[in-house]
Amino acid sequence: MIWSSQFNMLLNEWWIRIVLFCSICFLLFYAFMNFENTFILSNFNLIIALVLQGISTFIEFFRINSKWYYFGFFNVFKKDQLKNHLILLLTGITNTIILAVICLSFSNVTTFSQPNFFSLIALIYNFILIAFIEESFFRGIIFQAIEDKFGSTFSIFLTSLAFSSAHFFNPNFSVVASLNTFMAGILFSVIFLLTRSIIFSSLFHFYWNLFLALFIGAPLSGMNEKISIIAFSHYSIPDILTGGLYGFEGGIIVTWILLLNILFLSKRLYLSPIISSKLLIRDYSSFVNTHKRTISSSQLNN
């Protein structure tokens, strides 16, 4: 059908994808926030995750010569992806060990506790959803649309800036926290770019949040989860290093950890040959269709 073909062509335009995505998200979020329903309120994060996935799948599926999984949901649990999984997990564990050693060296009080099983499951569940929601929004349609038009570097900068700005109203937000959140945005973007999978960037985002809350017991981006196995307090080093009430993400120690993570992961992660070939076919098809539209427009003008 003609209207269907025109709609497909419109979705190949980078700015239309962003406007459509943001408009639908805003309308649905507004509706959910004003919906006084117990089920919706108790499952808000899950609903938002499903909505983001649904919108993204819809937009990507209806693009010319595209598939929904091009958006970043390739099968990441095949054997050729095992190395990426191990690298991200070990990097997350290493980050936690470094922070734990610093805490043990400069903290006066250490508290060990055994969290309630169901509280722990709820914490893991929420962290998975939060990581997925943030990655789908910041490394999804918006990131990829800007990348199509302006390239990866500009897309990383702009979405990381937006990611940092989104945390502006968190309690005890600071200049260092702003810098660190910006760098975290760069880190997650690098993971996405090298693997072309939102699943991988979401996993590392999840590891970061979970390990920091569970094994360090520090506030997470200014929020205190109050569920931890080990908790440290009364540091003998300045807040500029530990982040104070904002948590380690507001301190210079994490600035260096994030920088090292970016440098390390940019050299270790890799793109699956299967994913690479599929994306190459998509990009070629998109180029051919764009070229055809250019020629058609020129002929009409003549």
Residue 72 DSSP label: T
CA distance 278 to 301: 35
Mean pLDDT value of segment 168-174: 92
Residues 6+ apart with CB under 8 A from 288: none
Higher pLDDT, 47 or 267: 267
pLDDT score of 233 more than 80: no
The predicted pLDDT at position 108 comes to 67
pLDDT-derived band at 47, boundaries 50, 70, 90: confident
Helices (H), 107-234: 117-138, 141-150, 152-165, 175-195, 198-211
pLDDT-derived band at 2, boundaries 50, 70, 90: low
75-79, 155-159, 281-285, range with greatest mean pLDDT: 155-159
The predicted pLDDT at position 294 comes to 62
pLDDT, tens digit (0-9, with 9 covering 90-100), for 50-107: 888 888 888 887 776 666 666 777 778 888 889 999 999 999 999 999 998 998 888 7
CA distance 216 to 231: 6
